[in-house]
Chain A
C-alpha cells in the first residue's frame, strides 16, 4: 500500500465541522456522526467487559479461590460475557464501520432511515445502561446463557434487569439490520449493481438478514423468562410440566446465528483489507459473496450442537453434527480465496494488513477447533471445559476484534482525515497478537486435560498454564490500550491523510477525508467493476 502524495488538504466543509454543539451530535441524523456515537459507546462497554476479564484472570492466577468468592466469580464471568457479546461484539463492526461505510460504499447520501438510525443508537445506550445498572446493583450469576430453571426459579440475582437490557438492545440490532437491508436494496447509486458492491457490503447484508430473523426470537425468549420469574407463569418450569431444554432450543436458535452476526462483518472487513493490501481483485469475488449468504442460511440450522449433552436424541444430534460440518465449507472458501489473493502478490506489511494476517491465522484455528466440537465423540469429552472457552475466544477475539481493529486502522484516515503513527500501530498489533495467543492457547490444553469452565478454583497441577494465560491477558490488555492513545493523539496531531492514503479503490476513497455531510459533491455514477486494482491510480479522477 504505497502512500499517495499528499496533494489534498483538509476539505473546507466536512461532516466533522458541520456544527460543533452537543445538539449537533446528540440529534444528528448523519450516519457518519452516528457511527462515531456508536464508537464511543462500544469502546466504553468494551472496557467495562474487559475489566471483568481482568478480575477473572487475576482470580485464576492461583489454584485456590482466594481473590473473590465463588458467587462473585459467577457474576464476573456472567457480566463479562453479557457485556462483551451483546454490547461490544454484536454491534461493533456493523454499528461503527457499517454505519460509516454502507452509504458511502454504494454512493448514497445517507442510510434509508436516518432518524431510525439515531433511534437505534439511543436504544443501544438505554439497553446498555440498564444492564450496567443491573451490574452495579448486585450483578447477575446465571452465565450469559440464562439457562432455566436456574434463571427463573433459583437465582436470586438481577436476572430481569439484565434480560430487559438485552431485550432493549436487541431492537437496536434489528433496526440497524432493517436499515441496512433497505438501504442496500433501494439506495445504490446509478451503475452500482449487486456484483459491483464491495464484499464488505455482502457480509453486511448477510449479517442484517440474521439480525432481522434471529434477534426477535431471543427477545421473546427473554420476555418469557421475565414473565416466568415475575408472575410465576409456567413455560420452562418442570414443576408444571414445562421443558427447560425447550428454552435452550429457543436461546440457541438466536445465539448460534449470533456467532455469525459477530464474525460475518469481520470477514467482510478482511476482504477489503486483503484486496487493498495486495492491490488486487479478490480471487473468486462471487464465491466470497455467496459464501456470506450461505453462512447466514446455514447459521440457522446448527443450533443443536450446543445441546449434545442436554438430552437431545441421537438422531437429531447426528443431523446437527453434519450440518455444523457444512458451515466449514463457505468459511473455508473465504479463507482459501483470501490466501489465493495474496499468493504471489506484493503484499503489504502495514498495520491493517497485519491485523488481516492475524485474523486469517487465528480464525482458522478457531474454525478448525470448531470442527472438533461438532464431532459428537470429541464434544462429549470437552463440553464445558476450557477447550470451549479457547475455541470461541479464537473466533470472537482472534477473529472479530482483530478484524474490527484492522478495519478501524484502515478507515481511520477516512473517518478522521488524519494518519496515525504507523510504528506504534505496528508494535501494538504485534503485542495484541502475542498477548492473545499467550492468553488463549494454554486454555486449549487446559480444557483437553479436563479443567472445567466457570470455576473459581482448580487443582494445583493446572497452575502453570493458568499463569501463562493470565500473563498473556495482561499483555493483551496493554495492546488494546495503546491504540486508544495514538488514535486519539492523531485526531489533533496526525498528518493529513488526503482522500486516498492507501491508493485503494472503492467509492469511499473517492471522496474527501473526512467526507462532506452529503458524502459526495454529486451522485457518483459507477462504471467499473469492484477491486479493479490496476486502475487504482485513477480512483480520484473518476468522479472529477
Chain B
C-alpha cells in the first residue's frame, strides 16, 4: 500500500476523504441511538423515582466525576491539537499529542476503576449483596444498574478509542499520515470527541442532578 493510498473504488483523494468523514458521522448517529436507549430508560425511572435517584446519586464520588470531566475535556483539546499537527505535517508533535490523548484516557479509566472499587466495597452493585438505606433500597438498585451500564458502556468506548489511537500513533510513526492524507486522524478525532460528549451528559445526569435534596 503506497503512502497516500487511494483505494480502488474511488476516483481521487478528495472523494475518499469525503466518504470516510461521512461514514464516521453516520456511525456516530448509530452510536447516539445506542446510548439513546439508556438515556430514555434513565429519564423514565428518574421521573418515577426522583427521591430514590437523588439519594443513590448522593453516594457517588463527585470529586472523582469532576476530575474525570476535566481530564476528558483536556484530552479533547490534545486531540484537536493532534489533528492540527497532522494537517500541518508536524509528525513529532502529532505523535506527542496522540500519546497525551491516550495518557489522559488512561487516567480517566483509572479514576473510573477506583470509583467502581469503592462502590463494590460499599455493596452498591445490584444483584451482588446490594445494601442501601431501607427507604430507598428497591429503586436505588435501578439507579445503580443504570449507573454501571451507562458508565460501563462509555468505558468500553474509551478502551476502543485507546485502541484506535494506538493504531494512529503507529501510522504516524510509520509516516503514513501526511498533510495530504491526514483523514484517519481527523475521523478518529470525531470518534474521540463523541465519546467525550457522551460523558458530558452522563456526568450531570448521574452525579449532579438532585444533590441539593439531601
Contacts and interface: CB of A to CB of B under 8 A. Distances in A.
A11 interface: no
A146 B196 CA distance: 33
A109 B7 CA distance: 11
Q: Identify whether the interface residues of B are mostly helix, strand, loop, or mixed.
A: helix
Contacts of B142: 234-235, 240-242
B30 A224 contact: no
B23 interface: yes
Contacts of B36: 216-217, 220
Interface stretch (A180-188, A311-319, A451-459): A180-188
B37 A220 contact: yes
A234 B147 CA distance: 11
B9 A110 contact: yes
A224 B149 contact: yes
Contact of B29 (A213, A228, A234): A213
Contact of B138 (A187, A223, A233, A240): A240
Interface string A170-188: 0000100011011001110
Interface in A166-214: 174, 178-179, 181-182, 185-187, 212-214
A112 B29 contact: no
B23 A178 contact: yes
A142 interface: no
A233 B9 contact: no
Given A178-B27, A186-B18, A216-B30, A240 B139 contact: yes
A181 B18 CA distance: 13
B26 interface: yes
A533 B146 CA distance: 58
B18 A109 contact: no
A220 B9 CA distance: 34
Given A109-B9, A110-B8, A241-B48, A212 B126 contact: no
A178 B34 contact: no
A213 B145 contact: no
B112 to A, nearest CB: 18
A215 B33 CA distance: 9
Interface string B24-54: 0011011101111110110011001100000
A167 B60 CA distance: 31
A523 B141 contact: no
Q: For this complex, into which size category does the number of interface residues on chain A fall?
A: 35 or more
B22 interface: yes
B203 interface: no
A114 interface: yes
B126 A231 contact: yes
Interface string A223-247: 1100110011111000111110010
B149 A219 contact: no
B126 A232 contact: yes
B15 interface: yes
A216 B9 contact: no
A240 B137 CA distance: 9
Given A186-B15, A186-B18, A234 B26 contact: no
B103 to A, nearest CB: 30
B138 A174 contact: no
Interface string B1-20: 00000011101000100110
B23 to A, nearest CB: 5
Given A217-B37, A231-B126, A181 B26 contact: yes
A179 B30 CA distance: 13
B127 interface: yes
A240 B41 CA distance: 14
A112 B8 contact: no
Interface string B70-84: 000000000000000
A113 interface: yes
Contacts of B194: none
A180 B45 CA distance: 37
A416 B142 CA distance: 56
A459 B146 CA distance: 46
Contacts of B116: none
Contact of A114 (B9, B31, B48, B128): B9
Nearest to A219: B34
A111 B44 CA distance: 40
Given A178-B30, A214-B33, A186 B22 contact: yes
Nearest to A518: B8
A233 B33 contact: no
B139 A235 contact: no
A220 B149 CA distance: 10
Nearest to B8: A109
Given A110-B8, A114-B9, A234-B142, A212 B29 contact: yes
A233 B126 contact: yes
A233 B127 contact: yes
- Counting chain A CB atoms within 10 Å of each CB, the highest count among B40, B48, B141 belongs to B141
Nearest to A178: B26
A147 to B, nearest CB: 16
Contacts of B45: 241-242
A213 B33 CA distance: 6
Given A178-B30, A220-B38, A235-B142, A246 B9 contact: no
B31 A246 contact: no
Contact of A186 (B19, B34, B40, B48): B19
B147 to A, nearest CB: 10
A346 to B, nearest CB: 40
A187 B9 contact: yes
Contact of A250 (B37, B126, B149): B37
Nearest to B23: A182
A111 B8 CA distance: 11
B9 A111 contact: yes
Contacts of A401: none
Contacts of A243: 44
B41 to A, nearest CB: 6
Contacts of B126: 231-234, 240
B149 A217 contact: no
A126 B18 CA distance: 31
A221 interface: yes
Contacts of A240: 126, 138-139, 141-142
A297 to B, nearest CB: 15
A163 interface: no
6 contacts: A113-B23, A178-B26, A233-B126, A233-B149, A240-B139, A250-B41
Interface of B: 7-9, 11, 15, 18-19, 22-23, 26-27, 29-31, 33-38, 40-41, 44-45, 48-49, 126-128, 138-139, 141-142, 145-146, 148-149
Q: Which 8 A-B pairs have the closest CB atoms?
A: A232-B127, A216-B34, A220-B37, A233-B145, A110-B9, A216-B33, A240-B141, A234-B141
Given A113-B23, A243-B44, 10 more contacts: A112-B9, A182-B22, A212-B30, A215-B30, A220-B37, A234-B127, A234-B141, A234-B142, A250-B40, A518-B8
